[in-house]
Amino acid sequence: MAKAGTSDGLQLYYETHGAGPPIVLVHELGGSHASFHFQVDAWSPRFTCIADNARGYPPSDVPPRAESYAQDIAANDIGVCHADLTCRKNLSTLVCTPRV
């Protein structure tokens, strides 16, 4: 179980699968890293798929205050997991949400 730390001290859960250029997958409200299992199966032979659980979605930490869910904080959190993997250099990122 991999976790990366945020600037406000929370731990975010993420999984990586595959090898190659990184693709960061960001789930929608009510989703999780598991929302992307079809995409990960299809893309992981050619890409490193990075899927996390956003703050408040266990096994990521749940913040104690509502202010910790602001959009700018959520945007910064997206970078935490791939930065933890040292993918920031030469990053070619695709961010998508699964169809419901």
Q: Residue 13 has which token pair?
A: 């859960």
Condensed to tens digits (0 to 9), the pLDDT of residues 9-57 reads 999 898 889 988 888 888 877 788 888 899 999 999 999 898 888 898 8
CATH number at residue 37: 3.40.50.1820
Question: How many domains is the chain built from?
Answer: 1
Burial of 9 per CB tally in 10 Å (0-12, 13-18, 19+):
exposed
Enclosing domain of residue 42: 2-84
Does residue 23 belong to any structural domain of this protein? Answer: yes
Does residue 98 belong to any structural domain of this protein? Answer: no
Condensed to tens digits (0 to 9), the pLDDT of residues 47-81 reads 989 888 889 889 999 999 988 888 888 888 877 76
Does residue 91 belong to any structural domain of this protein? Answer: no
